[in-house]
Amino acid sequence: MQIGLILVGFGNVARRFVRLLDERAARLEGEHDLTWRVIGIATRRHGAVRDLDGVDLTRALESADAGKSLGAHGESARDPLTSLFIRETVAAARQRTPDTPVVMVETTVLDIERGQPAIDHVRAALESGAHVISANKGPVAFAAHELLDVAARHGRAFFFEGAVMDGIPVFNLLRETLPAVSITGFRGVVNSTTNYIITAMEQGGEFGAALAAMQEAGVAEADASFDVDGWDAAAKTAALINVLMDGDVTPHAIDRTGIRGLTGEAVRGAVARDRRVRLVASAAWRDGRLAGRVAPEELPATDLLATLAGQQNALVLQTDLLGEIAIVQRGAGLTQTAYALLSDLVAVRRRL
């Protein structure tokens, strides 16, 4: 079955995603009866392009890699233009080939104030009859319930595996492999940049140099505050609370302390006491309230979270039936993030 893709955002993640689809094309078709065609691309600064017969991807990738405009429309797709572009593209595609499902792929940059304009993009896609897969945490961190309701009302899927721990299954893990289990709490290391900085300091490195290395590698955001002040971890914590524990919070409701206050001395002092500092994201029921927290914690060296080096992530889920289950991501990079979208796309295919 062929699926029409609309890419909203065409940065590193989206470009790696379409290349990854290409690399795994034989398995996707052979094992999942899944082929695709990109019918639209919308970007913030490099215009938009639409072609129901299939966008010329080679040209689009070349233009984007070179930082040039996508051409076709010649104009940028600034919101609310992007939402309009999504609605029109979905409508045109559904009119022309009603049996070809459309999937909108959200990879715009997270806005930590309100999660916009990604929330509008997701709503526009679902309302006009497309499924949505998102590597952007904004929609699920700020508006999970509203958007899942919209999806259910329109009989469409809304998946977002990439919001936490890249393509390592977290949301899919619970949804697909742990039926009838409830999550009662969690703790994890979910931000790669801060874990890299902390473990570099354990080895004698200093904060600034480690942060610069992560920014150079394209892992840390250009705005260091996003990682260092715990905003990224708070957005992930909110997403996990909203989806795994049926909570209803935004990243601003998370009790958040970043790692700016950490010195190499303090981090190495912990090591000397056979302990480790980690930026821990957690959620628990306290006095009848579901409380989310992001803060540096000093852990025994044999704690699973303490063993995470560099960019490694892990999430320990507390369950009502199976005790604790942990999932650990030991490799990180653009491919892992792009893979989250691939696994979501297959999940959509399975629903059809």
Catalytic residue numbers read: 236
Please give the size of the binding site for a copy of itself, defined by CB under 8 A: 44
Out of 35, 203, 263, 302, name the contact with a copy of itself by CB under 8 A.
302
Nearer to a copy of itself, 119 or 133 (CB): 133
- Applying the rule CB under 8 A, the residues between 114 and 173 that interact with a copy of itself are 166-169, 172-173
Nearer to a copy of itself, 92 or 173 (CB): 173
**Alpha carbon of residue 288 to chain centroid:** 29
Nearer to a copy of itself, 42 or 342 (CB): 342
Contact status: 37 vs a copy of itself (CB under 8 A): no
Contact status: 250 vs a copy of itself (CB under 8 A): no
Least distance from a copy of itself to the Cβ atom of residue 265, Å: 22
Place of tokens 């998946």: 159
Asked if 196 contacts 295 with a C-beta cutoff of 8 angstroms, the reply is no
- CA-wise closest residue to 228 among 269, 196, 255: 196
Contact status: 219 vs a copy of itself (CB under 8 A): no
Least distance from a copy of itself to the Cβ atom of residue 87, Å: 30
Nearer to a copy of itself, 281 or 347 (CB): 347
Reduced DSSP (H G I as helix, E B as strand, rest coil) percent helix, strand, coil of the chain, to 5 = 45, 20, 35
Asked if 121 contacts 108 with a C-beta cutoff of 8 angstroms, the reply is yes
Per DSSP, 322 falls in state S
Which range in 105-113, 176-184, 252-260, 261-269 contacts a copy of itself by CB under 8 A? 176-184
Helix axes 334-351, 25-32, angle to 10 degrees: 20
Asked if 229 contacts 257 with a C-beta cutoff of 8 angstroms, the reply is no
Least distance from a copy of itself to the Cβ atom of residue 234, Å: 25
Contact status: 192 vs a copy of itself (CB under 8 A): no
* Pairwise CA distance, residues 2 & 33, whole Å: 8
Contact status: 39 vs a copy of itself (CB under 8 A): no
Asked if 113 contacts 119 with a C-beta cutoff of 8 angstroms, the reply is no
Q: Is 2 helix (H, G, I), strand (E, B) or coil?
A: strand
Q: Which helix (H) or strand (E) holds 94?
A: helix 81-96
Least distance from a copy of itself to the Cβ atom of residue 332, Å: 7
Out of 22, 31, 33, 65, name the contact with a copy of itself by CB under 8 A.
31
- Applying the rule CB under 8 A, the residues between 305 and 344 that interact with a copy of itself are 306-307, 314, 316, 321-333, 335-336, 339, 342-343
Least distance from a copy of itself to the Cβ atom of residue 198, Å: 15
Per DSSP, 75 falls in state S
Nearer to a copy of itself, 141 or 342 (CB): 342
Residues paired with residue 186 on neighbouring β-strands, in sequence order: 283, 317
Residue 120 identity (one-letter amino acid): D
Is the Cα torsion angle 31, 32, 38, 39 positive or negative in sign?
positive
- Tell me which residues touch a copy of itself (CB under 8 A): 24, 27-28, 31-32, 166-169, 172-173, 176-181, 301-304, 306-307, 314, 316, 321-333, 335-336, 339, 342-343, 346
